[in-house]
Amino acid sequence: MLFSENFEKLIQTLNRFPGIGRKTAQRLAWFMVSQDKNFALNLAETIITTVESFKTCSKCNMLSESDPCPYCTSVERLDSHLCVVENSSDIQILEGMNEYKGRYFVLGHLLSPLDGYGPEQINSQQLMERILTLHPTEIILALKPSAEGEATIHYLWELLKDKEINITRLSTGIPFGGDLEYSNLNTLSNAWKRRYIVQ
């Protein structure tokens, strides 16, 4: 038996989430129909309320329920540090460290000209304006070390290098708990080149 049109549509929609394959999507869909109906109806309502309440912060591009977002308005955050991230969700991950008290800026995408993401699509003009307003002493490019991440870091560094601002990036290497055996060659040779003296 094939799935009904509705059920198949539900599976296909769930399948569009990152990291959710067809099999997981089927499992989630079955879970929804097999629970008390209120579970799924509440979920649907919560989805609607939540997405309707989110907007993009006009200062930093973060998805937030207020504009400007809490990070841009808080008087407790320092203008001296500006952390540049790819996505809004990266901010939550960094906040988990409970270490950083500066401002944020969300690019929305990494540079990838072949896919149509040039300097304009990553909001670099808006970033420059934000820098002019905040006058940070350090800009942390907290982007992932992939081909696109490296290209973006290089591009932003070129834009900013003459501005007498410290431009930093996150350390790269073998992750804690990671195994040499399971590290890919790029990670390994990068960690080798960046080896440092134990003290």
- Check residue 63 for interaction with its own copies (CB under 8 A): yes
Give the residues across from 35 on adjacent strands.
none
Q: How far is CA 165 from the centre of its chain?
A: 23
Residue 29 Cβ, how far from its own copies at the closest point, in Å?
A: 7
- 99 contributes a contact to its own copies by CB under 8 A: no
Distance of CA 105 to the CA centre of its chain: 11
**Residue 65 lies near its own copies (rule: CB under 8 A):** yes
166 part of the interface to its own copies, by CB under 8 A: no
- Alpha carbon distance 68, 70 (integer Å): 7
Is 51 one of the binding residues for its own copies (CB under 8 A)? yes
Angstrom distance (rounded) from CA 50 to CA 65:
9
Q: Which residue from 21, 48, 80, 135 is in contact with its own copies, where contact means CB under 8 A?
A: 48
| Among the residue ranges 44-52, 137-145, 152-160, 162-170, the one whose residues contact its own copies (CB under 8 A) | 44-52
- Which residues ranging from 68 to 87 are in contact with its own copies (CB under 8 A)? 70-71, 87
98 belongs to the binding site for its own copies (CB under 8 A): no
Structural tokens at position 44: 């649907």
Work out the burial of residue 137: count CB atoms within 10 Å of its CB; fewer than 13 is exposed, 13-18 middle, 19 or more buried.
middle
Residue number with CB closer to its own copies (74 or 189): 74
Q: Which stretch binds its own copies (CB under 8 A): 33-41, 125-133, 158-166, 183-191?
A: 33-41
Length of the chain: 199
Instruction: Name the 3-class secondary structure at 68.
Output: coil
Residue 5 DSSP code = H
Task: Kindly state whether residue 58 participates in binding its own copies, applying the rule CB under 8 A.
Answer: no
From 29, 82, 110, 156, residue interacting with its own copies (rule: CB under 8 A): 29
Closest CA to 193 of 175, 172, 179, 167: 172
CA 177, 180, 181, 184 torsion: positive or negative? positive
Chain contacts with its own copies (rule: CB under 8 A): 1, 3-4, 6-7, 9-10, 13-14, 16-20, 24, 26-34, 37, 39-54, 63, 65, 70-71, 87-89, 92, 95
